[in-house]
Structure 1
Amino acid sequence: MDDSSFTTVIPPTPESGLGLGSWMRELVEVARATLATPRYPDDLPRGNGETVLLIPGFLAGDWTMHALRDFLHHHGYRVEFAGVMLNLGPTHGFVPYLESVVERLHAGTGAPIVLVGQSLGGAFARALAHRHPEKIAHVVTLASPIRFPVATPMEVFARLLAPLHGPDIAALTEEIGRAPPVPVTALYSREDGIVDWRCCLQEESHTCRNIEVAGAHSAMGFNPEAQAAIAHALANVPSGKIRRAAG
C-alpha cells in the first residue's frame, strides 16, 4: 500500500509522555504481571458457559491472553482464542479471518458471543460488531485506540509493516470510530505507556460506557481491576442475549 495513506498512527510528541521510556516501563509491568500469582475473587459476577472470544493486540498473539482466559474460565465462561500467533495489524485477509472465527463460534451455539479485545484487537472487535451485530452480544475493549490518528511509540513498527496492510485502511478506521450497534465497554488507563488514553474513549450512551482503571496498557489482561470490570460488564448483558454453549 502507499505509505502516504497510512496515517492512522503518528509519533508521540515529547509532551505526551509517550516514548521509549514509557514503552520500557510497559515491558517491566508485563513481566511483573506475568510473575504475579493470579487472583480469582469469589465475590465477582459469574457466567454460565457463555462464549467469549479473545482478540490479542498489535504484535501480540493468543499467548498474551492466557491470564484473562484463565480468569474468565474460572468465573464460568467458555473462552476461545482467536487463533492468532502474531497480530501484524490490518493485513490482507486478517479482519475477514476474524469474521470467520466469529461465524464459527456463533454457529456452535446459535446465540451471539462476546468479544474482548486488547488494544488493536479491541479496535478490530468494534469493526466485527458493525459487520455481524446479530452474532455479537457485547464488545469489551482493553486500552483500544479508536480515535485516529493515534500517537504511539509503536508507530515505527506500524510503518514497517504498512506494505502488508490492506488498501481499505481509511474505511476500516472509520468503521472502528463509529459506535457499534451492540453494547461496548471500553477500559482505559491514564497510566497507558503505549497510546494516549484519550484515544481509547468512546462517546458514551446507554449502550456505550468508558471505565477507567489503573495500570499499564500491555498488562491490562492481567490487571485484577480490569478483570473485575470485565466480569461486571459481562454480567450486565441482557438475560437471554447470550446463552450457554452446548457440551
Structure 2
Amino acid sequence: MSGAEERVGPPALLWQVLEGRAVFELGAMAWLYPLLRQAPRGDGHPVLVVPGFLASGSSTFPLRQFLKSLGYAAHRWKQGRNLGGVGETEERLLGRLRELRRRYGRKVSVIGWSLGGMYARELAWMAPEDVRLVITMGSPFRNHTGTAVTLLYEDVSGQSEAHMDPALLARLSQPLPVPSTSIYTRTDGVVHWRCSLERPSATTENIRVLGSHCGLGHNPLALWAIADRLAQPEDRWRPFRREAFRRFAYPTPDRGD
C-alpha cells in the first residue's frame, strides 16, 4: 500500500447486505466435512491462525479444528479480541510466533483472516526465519481504507492511515520474503476484493473463491485451498493448480498488477 496504490471504495451495498451468507457457508462446511477430510495432508507443522477485526480466537475454531483433523498443530493467537493497531499488535504477536517455533523446532505457517492477514504479513517481514508461509483471507493489505468498516476501525483502534508509519504502509503490499497466498472473493461485503490482491512474483498467488467475507474461515473451497497450500514440502513451494475439478470450483484469479 503506497501513495501510488489505486484507491477503491468499500464493497457494493448489495454484498454488504448479503454477508449473512456466512451462516450457510458454515452449514456447507458441516455437510461437506467428510469430503473435506480427504483434502491434502502435509507434514503436521505448526500453524498460527489470526482472527479478523473485532473477532477473537474463537472465530477461528472451525478452521483450526479442520487443520487439526489433517494432522497440523493449529493454534489460536491468544491476544484476546482483535481491536486493531497495525504496526503495534504485531510486536505482541511476534512472541506467540516465536513460542511456537521454539516448542516445535520448526517454521510456523501463519494464516490471517481480514485484519489478521495484515498482521501475518508483517510477521513475515519481522521474522522470515520463523515463518514458513503466509495465507491471508480477505485481507485489505493493498488499501486498508477500501472496506465497509474503515470508520469503525479508526474509532475503535484510534488509528488512521495518516498516523501509520509510511514505511509499514508501503511494505504491506509488497511481495513477502516467504511464499504467500491471498484467498479472496469478488462478492466480499467487508473488504473490496481489489484490496486483497497479491502483486505477481515467483512466490505469490491469488486464489479466488465464491462466498462472503465473514464466511471465509469456514468456506469449504477456502478450506480445501488452505489444506493444499499447507501440504507443500517446505522450501518447495509452487502455485495453486486449477486442474480437474478445481477448474470449475475456483474461478480464474485476478492479477494484482
TM range, smaller chain: 0.7 to 0.9
Query: Tell me, which stretches of 5 or more residues in structure 2 are unaligned?
Result: 238-257
Confirm or deny: 8 A CA contact 1:11 1:155 kept in the other structure. Answer: no
2:18 aligns to what? 25
- Superposed, 1:183-222 pairs within 5 Å as 183-222=179-218
Confirm or deny: 8 A CA contact 2:46 2:106 kept in the other structure. Answer: no
- Cα deviation, 1:44-97, whole Å, max 9, x if unaligned, reads 111332100000011111111011011111111010000132111116842111
Measured in 1, the distance between the counterparts of 2:212 and 2:26 equals 13
From 38, 41, 50, the equivalent of 2:45 is 50
Q: CA distance change for structure 1 residues 91 and 134 in 2, over 3 Å: closer, same or farther?
A: closer
Query: Tell me, which stretches of 5 or more residues in structure 1 are unaligned?
Result: 1-7, 242-247
Determine if the alignment matches structure 1 residue 135 to structure 2 residue 148.
no
1:85 aligns to what? 80
Bigger mean CA offset, 169-178 vs 214-223 = 169-178
What TM-score does the superposition give when structure 2 sets the normalisation length? 0.80
Measured in 2, the distance between the counterparts of 1:149 and 1:94 equals 16
Confirm or deny: 8 A CA contact 1:189 1:212 kept in the other structure. Answer: yes
1:94 aligns to what? 89
Confirm or deny: 8 A CA contact 1:92 1:164 kept in the other structure. Answer: no
1:113 aligns to what? 108
**Shift of residue 43 of structure 1?**
2.9
1:230 aligns to what? 226
Please provide the CA RMSD for this pair.
Answer: 2.5
Confirm or deny: 8 A CA contact 2:25 2:220 kept in the other structure. Answer: no
How many residues align? The count is: 228
**AA paired with 1:208?**
T
**Shift of residue 116 of structure 1?**
0.5
Q: Secondary structure at the match of 1:140?
A: strand
Q: Percent of counterpart pairs with the same letter?
A: 32
- Cα deviation, 1:144-195, whole Å, max 9, x if unaligned, reads 1111253111022112124267954433322211211000011111111111
